[in-house]
Amino acid sequence: MEPATPSRLFRLGILGSGKGSNAAAIADACADGTIPARVAIVLSDVENAGILERARERKVPARFIHPGKSRASLDGPAEAAYVEALRAAEVDLVVMAGFMRIIRSGLLRAFANRVVNIHPALLPAFPGLEAWKQALEHGVKMTGVTVHFVDEGIDTGPIIAQATAPVLPGDTPQSLHARIQEVERRIYPTVIAALARGRIRVEGRQTIWQP
């Protein structure tokens, strides 16, 4: 993953399925120079997803690509279409922002060590869906978010950064999720900026931040 240079701006490809709050935060951070990069393309597996509208509002190319027949992941032809679109946009980093599909080996090979995700819990605690509900059900007093590289497991890739969010008395799933999302919108642009500057490297399961 080559860092940004004066002659070429680092390019991001964002994948998402939902409203796109993280994608919007990332695009805005690119626009104001906080992240030395540009969002080259936004792709969604949901035709009317809010993330596509948020991208278009910001003049970012945005496309729906049908995910295929699988409910949990992209099927073979769909995965190939996503890889083709990301390559055509010449992206340096694939950013998952609420993408509700398991990423398969084909895309991971095409962008080896260049796919990142944000998870609404302090991994390895509460992997999988609706992690904020899992946190409430277990009665923890503190949860948070994790930014990690994506591998072929579910929320098992090398951890890049984590930040905490308190679980408060009287929290509902909705109130806790909203608090976690506030933390997400702070930490994700920070990590992506460091990646764009070439300040993060991976050694086995460890990620190392360089000054």
For position 176, which CATH number holds? 3.40.50.170
The Cα 114–Cα 107 span in angstroms is 10
Q: Is residue 118 part of a domain?
A: yes
pLDDT at position 4, please?
A: 59
State which residues form the domain around 126.
10-209
Q: Is residue 5 part of a domain?
A: no
66 classed as catalytic: no
Q: DSSP assignment, residue 131?
A: H
Q: Which amino acid is at 73?
A: S
Q: Rounded to whole angstroms, what are the CA distances from 124 to 59, 70, 128, 144?
A: 37, 26, 10, 11
Closest CA to 192 of 18, 5, 30: 30
Q: Is residue 149 part of a domain?
A: yes
Catalytic residue among 119, 138, 148, 177: 119
pLDDT at position 204, please?
A: 86
pLDDT at position 167, please?
A: 98
Q: What is the pTM of this model?
A: 0.94
The Cα 205–Cα 4 span in angstroms is 25
Q: Is residue 24 part of a domain?
A: yes
Number of domains in the chain: 1
**Average pLDDT along the chain, 211 residues, taken 10 residues at a time:** 71 97 97 97 97 97 95 92 98 97 93 96 96 97 98 94 97 97 97 97 91 81
Q: Is residue 43 part of a domain?
A: yes
